[in-house]
Amino acid sequence: MNAFTAEYTSRPDSKAEEANVNREKVIVILHYYRDADKAIKMNERVIKNLEDQYYSTLGAVNSDGMPRGKGTTSNPVERVVLNIPRSVTQTIDRLRREIEEIGKIKAEIAEELKCLNYTEKALIQGFYIEGEQWERLSARVNYSPRQCRNIRAAALDCLARHFSANKIISRYRFPEK
């Protein structure tokens, strides 16, 4: 075997091997879609905890309108806001942007899932998003488990094409597991 044939045979030359990489990325995207609501709820909980911790001190401030102190005007809200560390407000802003971004990506993924026919969509949603077993899915769509796996493979290839054509999805950096 010469150097040319060794180099040629070491490269992936079949479309199936290239499709596996795309399928893996599609699976990562589908898992992200599945967990998006959990991430949003977690971020909202963190924001609520931070706001409760730093903003709730306003309730202890006497704001009945009667003058207190030495003749200077005091704005209780302004005092509370000025005492919040900058890192906390930056964290809250970052988490809000993250929530918005996750929601936008989830909507884009849902839009691309519409390209699938009923059987493909039922299998993809059932297996990757709801976590069902092949036996239950095959009974639902009236195909054998082996046929369901074949249909799933075709659906993953279709989604790979659609996800790569979608600029928002293709540019987003999904977390690797």
Instruction: Give per-residue pLDDT as tens, 60-77.
Output: 555 556 655 555 555 655
pLDDT attached to residue 9: 38
Q: Does residue 7 lie in a domain region?
A: no
Residue 36: band (very low, low, confident or very high) from pLDDT cuts 50, 70, 90: very high
CA 76 to chain centre: 39
Residue 93 CB coordination number (10 Å):
11
* Residue 77 structural domain: 21-62+73-171
Q: Does residue 68 lie in a domain region?
A: no
Q: What is the mean pLDDT of the segment spanning 22-29?
A: 90
Query: Three-class SS of residue 154?
Result: helix
Q: Does residue 2 lie in a domain region?
A: no
Give the CATH number of the domain where residue 155 resides: 1.20.140
Q: How many domains does the chain have?
A: 1
Decide if pLDDT at 103 tops 70. yes
Residue 89: band (very low, low, confident or very high) from pLDDT cuts 50, 70, 90: confident
Q: Does residue 84 lie in a domain region?
A: yes
Q: Does residue 162 lie in a domain region?
A: yes
120-157 pLDDT, tens digit each: 999 999 999 999 999 999 999 999 999 999 999 999 99
pLDDT attached to residue 75: 60
Query: Could you say which DSSP state residue 131 is in?
Result: -
Q: Does residue 164 lie in a domain region?
A: yes
Q: What is the mean pLDDT of the segment spanning 82-111?
A: 89
CA–CA dist 30, 88 (Å, integer): 32
pLDDT attached to residue 18: 38
pLDDT attached to residue 12: 42
Q: Does residue 85 lie in a domain region?
A: yes
Q: Does residue 133 lie in a domain region?
A: yes
* Sequential DSSP letters for 47-84: HHHHHHHHHGGGGGS--SS---SSS----HHHHHHHTS
